[in-house]
Structures are given as C-alpha cells and as structure tokens.
Structure 1
C-alpha cells in the first residue's frame, strides 16, 4: 500500500493542479449522483459528464506520471512491474468498479455501455498522457466527427442499443493501452541527448520532457531528425571553415550561434517551415468548415505560433549551463560582460527568424482561406511580430526560471500580442497604411526596442552562471 501511496504522491508533485481539478470534478459528480439516487433523474445528465471528464483528466495525469516512472533504472527495483499492476488494479477499482457498483445499485440503464465507456475514456486519457504521439493521432478523428454532428448523433443512438458496442469499446481500449504502455515497458538504451535549443518542431513535447525519460522516435521522426542533423553539421562546418580562413568578430559570433542554435541555419529553417506548413494546411482546412471563421485571425495565430519558441530559450539556457563553462573557457573573454554580449548577440538572430516564419505562415493561411485583404494582414503581422519577438526574447532571456513565473510571462506576452495585433489591424484599417502603420510602428517597435535595451543591459550586468538548475 505504501508503493501505491508513493505513486500517487509522484503524480501530485508533478501535476498538483491536475490532481486537484480532477478530484474537484469527482466531488461535483458525486454531489449530483447523490441527488440522482434520491430520485432526481435529471441530475444524472450532470453527474455522468462531470465524472467522465474527471476520469479522462485523472488518467491523462496517470499516463504523464508513467512517463517519468518507467525509466530504465526503475526496472531494477524489486517487483516493479507487479507494483505497477497493483496500482492499476486499485485505480480500476476506484474509477470503474466503484461507480458501476453505485449505478447497478440504483438500477441505471445501459450498464454494460457505461462500463465499457468508462474503460474507454480512461484508456484514452492514459494514451494521451504517456504517449503524446499516440494522442496526436486520436485528435483528427475527434475533429472529423465534429464536422458531422447529425451522423454522430445517429451513430450514438444506434450504438446505445447495440449489444456489440461494449465489446467494440473494450477492444479499442485494449488497443489504446497497448499502443501507449508497450513502449514504456521496454528497456532501451537512451539516445544521445540533443541541444535543448534545437527547435526541430518534431514535437513541442521535447521541451516538456520529464527528466530521465528516454526519447522515443518513430521511423519518420528518426528520418526527419537525420535531415536536421545533416543540415546542422554542414552549417557548423561552413562556419568553422570561414572562421579559420579569416577570423573576425562577426564570424566568431556566427560560430557561437551555430553551436547554441544548431537547427537555426537556412536549410533547417526551410525544413521546419515546410513541416509546420503541413500542419497549418490541415488546421486551416478544418477552420474553413466553421461557419463563423474570421480570416483576419490568421495573423494573430501565426505570430503566437512563432513566439512560442522563446519559452524554450529560457528552459534550454538553464539546462545548458554546465556545458556553457566549456564555451566560456574556449572564448576566453577579457571580461564577463564581453562573454554575455557574445551570447546575447548570438541569440538575437531568433528575432528575424521569428518574423520570417510569422510572415510565411500568415501568407500561407491567407492563401488557403482566400482572405479578402492579405496585404494588410502581412503588413500588420510584420510590425507586430518584430516587436513581439524583441519583447519575448528579452523577457525570456532575463525572465524567471521557475515554471510558474515563466508561464505567467508567456501568458502575458501571448495575450498582449493578440491585443496589439487586433488593435493594429483596426488602426491601419481606420487611418490607412501611412498614418495608422506609422503609429503602430512607433508604439510597438518603440516598446520592443526599449525592452530589448533594458534586458540586454540587465543581462550584461549579470555574472555568467554554470551551475546545473535545481530539479
């Protein structure tokens, strides 16, 4: 029982908000279930959805917890697999058997459908938590069903009365659990760690990896990663050759940039844009089927997508501290401020890259949805993305390293960018490109430049840190 308690505590330490929210929903569903048991039949329509959402949320956290627990070292513990089975049995008893017992006591209809549905929802949550790639595969099916609500309603009515539906649900649940947990149960050698600032867009999950978790790539992921590695190797070789032939400050900065940002060379940027463009194409294809879609929002989405790179800078620089000591000794700067200046200048290239990708995504979205005024969208996106990139780079360069503080900064930047984009679009639409665009440029770039200046001054005043981050 102590092992079960420790596993529960692991989840609470990793995701306390998720645990609290899941149990709050559970208590809310219990409240309506009590009213249902007292004869209020309408309370069932509140209790069932709340409990289903609580089940999904809880088991998503359980899957996330498994990703951190099932490391190669954990299998050296005595009876590790058996302890996991015992924990799973207790979980099934609390989240499946107990509510079904209450439902059977109250003589609820469609009991077999409810039982298989609970198992399916739980397995769906576990899959999304412990295998992010598998979870991504499931979302297109849910989106496709959202296009055809009438068909879904008809299928639901037929499935509710079919005796084969529970068996189908159980089979799907078994396949999902097999897909999600089988990779975690394999003991494999870890792949060589990559740079925390690689930004390959093979999955944003890489910035949220659990410490100690093995990176698992599929066949396609390995092939794409190979293309990125090949492009990074070529870019580094070119930078080394250029610096050896004629060492200058500019080429020295480029060499540091290739070291810190291995996948921000022209070939890798083009590959990253192409991969994200495929996802953008599918996304806008879905959005075009929504009745009240506003094409103007494309620019805001594009900017938000591009500046989502900068929180990774905050995380990655903290993780790279022990390795940066070698770079400091190699550069041998005269002062600490000179070293900080070199790093800040190397990272500044992320601003034009962010602006370029924002414009590419905006143009692609405008073409896909046949936006009525694409040039205005591109004009506003160019100004706002430049200012937003400067602000995001500055704040995450000197910003808080804690998860809570970083999240707050990220939310403030995101919502600020959305507001500035819509305000700028209205300003250009009202006053024209010259006056409206001039005011927008003056305000946004003035604020972005001032933020960059203040952040760089603060960064240069700080001493370099080479200690590994705690936790």
Structure 2
C-alpha cells in the first residue's frame, strides 16, 4: 500500500488540478448515486455521466504519469513491474469494482455492459495520457459515427441486446491497454535529444514532463523527423558558409537563428505547413458534415493554430539555458545587452512565420468550407495574426516560467485573440475595409507593436541566464 500511496502522491504532484477535478466529479457522482438509491430515478443519468467523465480524466492523468515513470532506470528498482500491477489492481477496485457494487445494490440493469463500458473509458483515458500518438486513431471513429447518427443509435440499441457485447468491450479494453502500456514497458536505447525549439508539429501533444523521458515516435514520425534534421543541417551549413564568405550583422543573425530555430528554414516551414494542412483538410471535411457550422470560425481556428508555437518558445528557452553559454562565448558580445538584442532579433522571425501559417490555413479552410466572404476573413486574419504574434512573442519571451503562470498567459492570449478576431470581422463588415480595417489595424497593431517594443526593452535590460532549470 505504501508504494500505491507514493504513486498516488506523484500523480497529485504532477497534475494536481486534474486529480482535484476528477475527485470532485466522483463526489458529485456519489451524491447523485445516493439520491438514486433513495428513489430519485432521474439522478441515475447524472451519476453515470459524471462518473464516466471522472474516470476518463483520472486515467488520462495516470497515463501521463506513467510516461515519466516508466524510464529505463526505473526498471532497475526491485519488483517494479509487480508494483505497477498491484497499483493497477487497486485502481480497478476503486474505479470499477466499487461503483459496480453500488449499481448492483440499486438494481441497475445491464451490469456487465456498464462494467465493460467503464473499462473502455478507463483504457481510453490511459491511452490518451500515455501514448497520445496512438490515441489520435480514436477520434476518427467518433467522427464517422457523427456522420451517421441514425446508424450509431441503431448500433447502440442492438449492442444492449447482444450477449457478445460485454466480451467485445473486454477485447477493446485489452487492445487499449496493449497500445498504452506495452510501449512503456519496453526498455529501449534513448534517442538523441532534440532541440526544445524544434517545432516539427510531430508529437506536439507529447511534451516530455521529465528529463530524459524518451520520445516515442512511430515509423512515419521517425521518417519525417529525419527529413527535418537533414533540412536543418543543410540550412545551417548554408548560413555558416555565407557568413564565412562575407561576415555581416544580418548573416550573423541568420546563423544564430539557424542554431536556435533549426526547423524554421523555408523548406522545413513548407513541410510543416503541408503536414498540418493535410490534417486540417481532414478536419474540415469531417466538420462540413454537420448542419450547424459557421465558416467564419475558420480564420479564428487558423490563428489559434499559428500561435501555438509561442508557449513552446517560453519552455524551450528555459530548457536551453545551459547550452546558451556556448553561444554567448562564441558570439563574444561587447555587452550583455548586445547579446540579448541578438537573441530577440533572431526570435523575431517567428512573427512573419506565424503570419504566413495563419494566412495559409485560413485560405485553405475558406476553400474547403466554401466561405461566403473569404477576402474579409483573410484581411481580418492578417491584421489579427500579426498583432497577436507580436503580443504572444513578447509575453512568452519575458513572461512567467512556471506552469501555472505560463498557462494563464496562454489562455489570455488565446481568448483575447478570439475576441479581437470576431470583433474585427464584425467591424469590417459594418464599416467597410477602409474605415473598419483602419480602426482594427490601429488598435490591434498598435497594441501588438507596443507590447513587443516594451518587452524587447525589458528583455535586453535583463542579464543573460545560463543556470539549468529546476525540474
């Protein structure tokens, strides 16, 4: 029990909000179940819904914890696999067996189906937390069912009557555990660490929460990663050769940019846009089957995709501090402010990259959904994306380094961007491109540029830091 308690404490330390929310939902489900046992039949639906959401959230956090726990060094601990199995048995007793006892006391129908459903939900959460790359295959299944709701309804009713459904749910649970747990239990050689600012759009959800946690990429991911590395090496060698031929401030900035942002050369940018664009095409083709869909949201979604890079900048610059000492000694700046200015100038390239990404995705989405006014979407997206990129770069460059503070900043940027986009779209539609667009550009670009220049002055005035981050 002591090992299980320590594992629970690790889960609470790593994802406290998720643990707290899951247990609050479980308490709410327990209250609804108590009301159901006392005779209020309508509370059974609330109890089932709340508990299903709670078990999914809990096991998503548990899978995320296992990613950083199942390191090669951990398997040297005595009886490590057996302790994990014991913890799994306790988890099943708490989240499946105990609720089923309560359901049996209340005389709930289809107990075997409900048990299998809880196991599938728990396995799905575990998969989404431990192996996000594999969990991406789950969403197309629900999208297809959303296309044919009548078929999904008929399938659900027939499943309730079939005696084979519980066995099918057990088989699905075993398959989910196979995809989620088996890769974590394999002991493999650790791959070469990638740059924290690599930005390949591969495994964007697979953020490593612990130092040394291996990256788990599939065959396709490894091929694309190797292609990115070749493009980055070629761009670095070209920048180095150009600087050696004719040293200049501009070419030195490009060389620093190739070191800090290895996958932000033109070829890699086009490859990244093509990969994400393919996923975007599939997404919008799926969404177009819904009756209620506003095409204007395409621009907002495109801008949101383009600014997801900036939180990575905050985390990556902190993780790169020990390596930045070599860059400082290589550049040999006259003052510390000169070094900080060089870094800010190099990172400013992220703004036009973000703008280009937003415009490409907006144009692609407008074509896919047959937007009624695509030029207004592109016009508003250009202004808002440029202003938002400047503000996001500024805030994440000098903003808080803690997880909570960084999350708050990111939420403020995202919701502020959405508000400005919708407001700007309405303003341009009401006042026209000249007046409405002029007001939008004056307010949005004025704010973004002002925030950027203020943040740049603050960043340049700071002393460089080369200490390793506290993990």
Instruction: Tell whether the structures are fold-level matches, with TM greater than 0.5.
Output: yes
Q: In the alignment, what sits opposite 1:3? A: 3
Q: Does the alignment pair 1:119 with 2:131?
A: no
Partners of 1:14 and 1:249 in 2: how far apart?
Answer: 44
Q: In the alignment, what sits opposite 2:47? A: 47
Partners of 2:212 and 2:229 in 1: how far apart?
Answer: 23
Q: Deviations over 1:43-95 (max 9, x none)?
A: 21221111111111111111111111111111010000000000001111111
Instruction: For 1:381-396, list aligned pairs within 5 A.
Output: 381-396=381-396
- Greater mean deviation of Cα atoms: 319-328 or 36-45: 36-45
Q: Gapped runs of 5+ residues in structure 1?
A: none
Q: Deviations over 1:389-446 (max 9, x none)?
A: 1111011110110111111111111111111111111221122112221221111111
Q: In the alignment, what sits opposite 1:141? A: 141
Q: In the alignment, what sits opposite 1:362? A: 362
Partners of 1:24 and 1:269 in 2: how far apart?
Answer: 43
SS in 1 for 2:383: helix
Partners of 1:253 and 1:334 in 2: how far apart?
Answer: 16
Instruction: For 1:233-244, list aligned pairs within 5 A.
Output: 233-244=233-244
Partners of 2:32 and 2:443 in 1: how far apart?
Answer: 52
Q: Deviations over 1:318-350 (max 9, x none)?
A: 000000000000000000000000000000000
Q: In the alignment, what sits opposite 2:104? A: 104
| 1:206 CA drift (Å) | 4.2
Partners of 1:3 and 1:20 in 2: how far apart?
Answer: 21
Partners of 1:366 and 1:159 in 2: how far apart?
Answer: 40
Q: Does the alignment pair 1:318 with 2:318?
A: yes
Q: In the alignment, what sits opposite 2:330? A: 330
Q: Does the alignment pair 1:248 with 2:238?
A: no
Partners of 1:222 and 1:151 in 2: how far apart?
Answer: 38
Partners of 1:107 and 1:434 in 2: how far apart?
Answer: 68
Q: Gapped runs of 5+ residues in structure 2?
A: none
Q: In the alignment, what sits opposite 1:438? A: 438
| 1:464 CA drift (Å) | 0.1
Q: In the alignment, what sits opposite 1:61? A: 61
| 1:41 CA drift (Å) | 2.2
- Is the Cα–Cα contact under 8 Å of residues 196 and 207 in structure 1 kept in the other structure? no
Partners of 1:247 and 1:207 in 2: how far apart?
Answer: 38
- Is the Cα–Cα contact under 8 Å of residues 359 and 381 in structure 1 kept in the other structure? yes
Q: In the alignment, what sits opposite 1:428? A: 428
- Greater mean deviation of Cα atoms: 166-175 or 373-382: 373-382
**Cα-Cα RMSD:** 1.1
Partners of 1:450 and 1:300 in 2: how far apart?
Answer: 23
SS in 1 for 2:50: helix
Q: In the alignment, what sits opposite 2:166? A: 166
Q: Does the alignment pair 1:200 with 2:200?
A: yes
- Is the Cα–Cα contact under 8 Å of residues 26 and 50 in structure 2 kept in the other structure? yes
- Is the Cα–Cα contact under 8 Å of residues 207 and 312 in structure 1 kept in the other structure? no
Partners of 1:381 and 1:107 in 2: how far apart?
Answer: 56
4+ residue segments displaced more than 6 Å: none
- Greater mean deviation of Cα atoms: 68-77 or 34-43: 34-43
Flag the 1:207–1:172 CA change in 2: closer, same or farther, 3 A: closer
- Greater mean deviation of Cα atoms: 36-45 or 445-454: 36-45
TM-score, length-scaled by structure 2: 0.98
Q: In the alignment, what sits opposite 2:263? A: 263
Partners of 2:163 and 2:43 in 1: how far apart?
Answer: 26
Flag the 1:123–1:207 CA change in 2: closer, same or farther, 3 A: closer
Q: In the alignment, what sits opposite 2:18? A: 18
| 1:208 CA drift (Å) | 4.9
SS in 2 for 1:204: coil
Partners of 2:243 and 2:302 in 1: how far apart?
Answer: 36
| 1:151 CA drift (Å) | 1.5
